[in-house]
Amino acid sequence: MFIWFTKARTGIVGGILLLLVLAACQTTTTTPVSADKANALITGAWEGDFINRQNTRYPVRFQLQGSGGQITGTGHIPDSSRDVNPTVTGTYSDNKIAIETSSGFRYDLTMGVSEDGTHWLTGSVTGPNSGRLELKRI
């Protein structure tokens, strides 16, 4: 009887924990930005986090200017040991963005929009410290 009670209780607790984990992991659905909108949306301020391979987050901010498929701008990466304010150059096509910084990093990003209307950039980072980038338009 005691063993059955323990298994039953574990099953209930396990089920509750599973529901809590699933609720915490729920994310907003996102869709890519269409090509005609991407051109206008690149220009502006973007901020978020660089996440390295150890899952440590570092705040970043970019001021980007997009025109004719080309990107220029500046970054502000306060915790950078290489360049706190790198210059940025790159290209975009549809919702795909490739950016390189004066500090030797390359960002391969995708632009999208959340159901709540928030525009985002996310993707991989390669260079002296690799990881991923998650930005929102502000």
pLDDT tens for 88-111 read: 999 998 889 999 999 999 999 999
Across 74-96, b (16+ Cβ under 10 Å) vs e yields: ebebeebeeeeebebebebeebe
pLDDT at 23 over 90: no
pLDDT score of 77:
93
Which of 3.40.50.12780, 1.10.443.10, 2.102.10.10, 2.40.128.30 is the CATH number of 31-137? 2.40.128.30
Q: Please, which pLDDT band fits residue 15 given cuts at 50, 70 and 90?
A: very low
Q: Could you give the percent of the chain with pLDDT greater than 90?
A: 59
**Cα 1 to chain center, whole Å?**
51
The average confidence (pLDDT) of the chain is 81
Return d(Cα 57, Cα 64) in angstroms, integer: 21
By CB atoms closer than 10 A (0-12, 13-18, 19+), residue 63 is: middle
Domain chopping of the chain, boundaries:
31-137
Q: Max CA-CA distance within the chain?
A: 74
Residue range 1-16: mean pLDDT, rounded: 47
Contact between 33 and 110 under an 8 Å Cβ cutoff? The reply is: no
Q: How many CB atoms lie within 10 A of CB 49?
A: 16
pLDDT score of 81:
86
Residue range 58-82: mean pLDDT, rounded: 93
Residue range 58-81: mean pLDDT, rounded: 93
pLDDT score of 28:
43
User: How many helices and strands in the chain, by DSSP H and E?
Assistant: 2, 9
Measuring CA to CA, how many Å separate 127 from each of 24, 29, 47, 75, 84?
A: 32, 30, 20, 16, 15
